[in-house]
Amino acid sequence: MKNFDKYRPGYYLPPEPSNDWVKKERLTQAPDWCSVDLRDGNQALITPMSLEEKIEFYKLLLKLGFKEIEVGFPAASETEYTFLRTIIQEGLVPDDVTIQVLTQSRPHIIKKTFESIKGVKNVVVHLYNSTSFAQRQQVFRMSEDEIVEIAVSGAKLFDDYAAKMPETNFRFEYSPESFTGTEIEFAERICNAVIDVWKPRPDRKVIINLPSTVEMSMPHVYASQIEYMSKHLHDRENVILSIHPHNDRGTAVAAAELALLAGGDRIEGTLFGNGERTGNVDIITLAMNLFTHGVDPNLDFSDMPAIVEFYEKITGMHVGYRQPYSGHLVFAAFSGSHQDAISKGMKFREETGEHRWTVPYLPLDPHDVNREYETDVIRINSQSGKGGISYVLEHNFGYSLPKEMAAEVGYFIKDISDHAHKELTPDEILVAFCHEYQNKDEPIALEDVTWIREGGSTVADATLIIAGKTFYLSARGNGPLDAVSNLLKIANPNIKYQFIDYEEHALRGDSDAQASAYVVIADDEGRRYWGVGVDNDITMASVHALITAINRENKVKQFIPTV
């Protein structure tokens, strides 16, 4: 890495301070959105979309709520031209949607572009030419005046062709391509030259698009460049200032947001940030950032899994597991402390009916993008904690573990995951939990029991199977559970324990009319053993819980019956 000295910043700062944008806290309204998936996104695919795939993708963009869609570069290929003619001739452009077409400032390309849009109601025709110092010096070998003439001559041709199509509502757009590598004074000059040709007015505004065709600077520099341009464009009140960030430095979203604070009105970008090299700005991230600040993005990403599935199928691209808002794991919490905080935050919402979303570690309610708490949020592996495991058992299967038991079960499940070296699914957690803690019948099994109230006490008559042998026993207690407890001690005087605590609740979830009981006992050395009982009858559930706790104790002590 010693050759770093051959690099130097290739951007240009404004000639005057342009930092008013830093005084603004946040964005308070959505920009105009223009999807360039069908152009910038499509040209960046290993296998560009077919005509049929482009139509499918176009329909998705309409469904998501885009009102401006760049549909392609119709003079670039037959597929591009045919696609445009197809959506026009088949009436696939709604009256409230404006399609956008792209053209270089070259006469024969401009001519074919205007031919391709005949019959459309609303259209943006997007003119561009490269303006950066590097392009002028190395590619075109032209002076500034010659580059300006290319832009101005193209702008005049736009006026000529549009005059012959009075039935079409035109809006013109100009991009000094490679704006970020262009001296700011020259960018100002060439944009104003084009504006002066087009003479924008309130009913026919002009779009000036300032692309970071290659992202060269930190986001705050781009914002200052945008602010300077916004303050120095002619007829600014009739100009829509458009932002077109790329992601070469990995900061396209930040650059876009700061540029909007600095005067930008409109964003050109793609779904999931697809585009040349490292991609365009990700419109989904930008829109959802607004959404999580309480701003209506005017786009509909409420079924994110479906959008991801469609996008991956059509483009052959993959949405990363950690892609903001849309990745498979963006809501997943494996850390024990995170899981505990999320679980408590969710319970707080249930208890208080709080409308505002304030759950720790989750900047977005997963339900708002059609994701599920149970499968997407709390994920269990060896790093998980008692809060997450309890959450899975409660929200997936209806168990509400006592606090002390939750800690024990948490370590038990984590140990399984650690030894298996894998994440555990909710069903795997349930199987392990039930196998260890619920309705255990070895070495003691309750075959049958009846209770009779006599003189203020309860008599239990039971059939027990102990270590494979059947016994018929009877005992008295102050209630059904106490009677069974005394009966077990008769069965084996070596069974010694102290009854510590008992809880019960109706079992929620898929279990109809079942109850769950939790019993904890302690041996003579103070070690505690939990048991869970589940049954349609709450009394039987408590009995199963007690027997399970005793069986778990005697599993440790190598139980030998004495009856």
Three-class DSSP labels, 328-347: CCCCCECCHHHHHHHHHHHH
Cβ atoms of 122 and 92 within 8 Å: the answer is: no
Cβ atoms of 520 and 529 within 8 Å: the answer is: yes
Q: What pLDDT band is residue 374 in, cutting at 50, 70 and 90?
A: low
pLDDT averaged over every residue in the chain? 92
Backbone angles phi, psi at 260, to 5 degrees: -70, -40
Single-letter code of the amino acid located at 242:
S
At residue 563, the pLDDT reads 46
Q: What pLDDT band is residue 468 in, cutting at 50, 70 and 90?
A: confident
- Quickly list DSSP for 177-231: ESGGGS-HHHHHHHHHHHHHHH--BTTB-EEEEEEESS--S-HHHHHHHHHHHHH
DSSP three-state, residue 430: helix
Least reliable range by pLDDT among 219-228, 319-328, 479-488: 479-488
> CA 102, CA 40: separation in Å to the nearest integer?
10
Contacts of 32 (CB under 8 A, 6+ apart): 67, 68, 240, 242, 265, 266, 267
Q: What single DSSP character describes residue 373?
A: I
Q: Which CATH architecture has domain 444-557?
A: 2-Layer Sandwich (3.30)
Peptide bond into 166 cis (omega under 30): no
Least reliable range by pLDDT among 133-142, 335-344, 396-405, 508-517: 508-517
Between strands 169-177 and 122-130, the pairing is parallel
CA 554 and chain centroid, separation: 48
Q: Provide CATH 3.20.20.70 ranges for the chain.
A: 30-315
Single pTM value for the model: 0.82
> CA 301, CA 371: separation in Å to the nearest integer?
12
Reported in sequence order, the residue ranges of 53-93 that DSSP labels E, i.e. its strands, are: 68-72
Q: Provide CATH 3.30.160.270 ranges for the chain.
A: 444-557
> CA 259, CA 220: separation in Å to the nearest integer?
8
Q: Which residues pair with 459 in a beta bridge?
A: 452, 476
Helix (H) or strand (E) holding 315: helix 304-315
At residue 508, the pLDDT reads 66
DSSP three-state, residue 321: coil
Per-residue tokens: 367: 């339900």
C-alpha radius of gyration, the chain, whole number: 35
Residue 555 has pLDDT above 80, yes or no: no
Per-residue tokens: 10: 């290739």
> CA 164, CA 34: separation in Å to the nearest integer?
26
CATH of the structural domain 30-315, one choice from 3.40.50.20, 3.30.70.100, 3.20.20.70, 1.20.1090.10? 3.20.20.70
At residue 391, the pLDDT reads 85
Contacts of 175 (CB under 8 A, 6+ apart): 126, 127, 128, 208, 209, 210, 211, 244
> CA 375, CA 359: separation in Å to the nearest integer?
17
Contacts of 226 (CB under 8 A, 6+ apart): 210, 241, 243, 259, 262, 263, 264
**Taking residues 481-497, what's their average pLDDT?**
83
> CA 545, CA 484: separation in Å to the nearest integer?
12
**Taking residues 271-295, what's their average pLDDT?**
97
Cβ atoms of 69 and 61 within 8 Å: the answer is: yes
At residue 315, the pLDDT reads 96
Helix (H) or strand (E) holding 471: strand 469-477
Per-residue tokens: 288: 């959802």
**Taking residues 36-43, what's their average pLDDT?**
96
**Taking residues 478-499, what's their average pLDDT?**
85
Cβ atoms of 117 and 71 within 8 Å: the answer is: no
pLDDT in tens, 516-540: 999 999 998 899 999 999 999 999 9
In a 13 Å sphere around the CA of 423, the CA atoms on its Cβ side amount to 13
Give start and end residues of each alpha helix (H) in 376-529: 386-397, 403-420, 426-437, 480-491
At residue 207, the pLDDT reads 98
> CA 368, CA 352: separation in Å to the nearest integer?
20
Cβ atoms of 217 and 250 within 8 Å: the answer is: no
DSSP three-state, residue 72: strand
At residue 466, the pLDDT reads 84
pLDDT in tens, 417-430: 889 898 888 999 99
Q: What pLDDT band is residue 509 in, cutting at 50, 70 and 90?
A: low
Percent pLDDT > 90 in the chain is: 77
At residue 560, the pLDDT reads 46
CA distances for 199 relative to 207, 473, 534, angstroms: 12, 102, 79
